[in-house]
């Protein structure tokens, strides 16, 4: 069956590509069974290396705690309406609009809680673009536009049917430096977690400079954990 997919690939529709991606990830039922997620990871940037715990749920809420050693040094969260942030000391404060939007995007975009097949049901738009060759791979490219107008391109590998890359225009840390740039995210080291394929390494690059901005390596993923309302509320 997989061989016939490749032979027919030139004539695939958007719906067929989404279907094959959904099957490659683990199937509609397995993807949609994930109601909440906890990701433990290491984040490396040129200036620092930290550990983090990211949690999110389909109610539209998320939180990420950043640690240096055993000490929490920074928190960002989205309570379902707006974002907030807090350092190791001092009161929490509301995120800027772009910062709140970035936190919300991270919840909705496929790869954590949702699959590509769920995007349009959430009110987002998907369109198929021309194929694009990068490093010898002739990718299927689709554009996803979220309900708030934010858009990005996904690059689907015609051999694995998984998302290898995405590209969008944004700031890496909008609440620190809002200057936008074209960022390519590369999704690597896919491995199944309870039947759902997850990328255990993500690298982000400044496309114009060819410079790696960030590397994230996942240590553990947990599904359907109980999350209290207090985790997302600004203290």
Task: For residue 1, give both structure tokens.
Answer: 């069956």
pLDDT at 1 (0 to 100) = 30
What is the 3-state composition of the chain as percent helix, strand, coil, each rounded to the nearest 5?
A: 20, 45, 35
Contact between residue 232 and residue 63 where contact means Cβ atoms under 8 Å apart? yes
Length of the chain: 235
**pLDDT tens sequence for the chain (235 residues):** 333 334 344 689 999 999 999 999 999 999 999 999 999 999 999 999 999 999 999 999 999 999 999 999 999 999 999 999 999 988 999 999 988 999 999 999 999 999 999 999 999 999 999 999 999 999 999 999 999 999 999 999 999 999 999 999 887 776 566 777 899 999 999 999 999 999 999 999 999 889 999 999 999 999 999 999 999 999 9
**How far is residue 174's CA from residue 181's CA, in Å, rounded to a whole number?**
11
Task: For residue 210, give both structure tokens.
Answer: 């060819």
Torsion of CA 9, 11, 15, 18, to 10 degrees: 20
Domain residue limits, the chain: 2-231
CATH topology (fold) of 2-231: outer membrane lipoprotein receptor (LolB), chain A (2.50.20)
What is the reported pTM? 0.91
pLDDT at 4 (0 to 100) = 34
Closest to 221 (Cα-Cα) out of 39, 42, 62? 39
Q: What angle do CA 190, 191, 197 make, to 5 degrees?
A: 80
pLDDT at 6 (0 to 100) = 40
Closest to 105 (Cα-Cα) out of 130, 121, 128, 122? 122
């Amino acid at each position: 069956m997989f061989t016939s997919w490749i032979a027919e690939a030139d004539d695939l529709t958007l719906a067929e590509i989404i279907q094959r991606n959904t099957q490659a990830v683990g199937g509609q039922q397995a993807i949609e069974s994930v109601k909440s997620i906890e990701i433990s990871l290491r984040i490396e940037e040129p200036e620092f290396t930290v550990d983090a715990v990211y949690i999110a749920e389909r109610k539209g809420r998320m939180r990420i705690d950043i640690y240096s050693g055993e000490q929490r040094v920074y928190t960002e969260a989205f309570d379902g309406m707006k974002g907030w942030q807090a350092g190791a000391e001092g009161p929490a404060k509301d995120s800027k609009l772009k910062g709140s939007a970035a936190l919300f995007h991270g919840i909705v975009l496929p790869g954590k809680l949702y699959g590509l097949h769920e995007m349009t049901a959430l009110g987002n738009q998907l369109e198929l673009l021309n194929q694009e060759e990068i490093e010898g791979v002739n990718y299927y490219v689709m554009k996803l536009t979220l309900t708030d107008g934010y858009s990005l391109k996904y690059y689907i590998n015609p051999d694995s049917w998984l998302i290898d890359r995405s590209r969008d225009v944004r700031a890496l840390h909008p609440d620190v430096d809002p200057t936008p740039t074209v960022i390519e995210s590369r999704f690597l080291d896919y491995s199944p977690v309870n039947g759902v394929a997850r990328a255990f390494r993500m690298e982000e690059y400044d496309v114009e400079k060819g410079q790696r901005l960030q590397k994230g390596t996942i240590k553990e993923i947990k599904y359907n954990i109980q999350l209290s309302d207090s985790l997302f509320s600004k203290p």
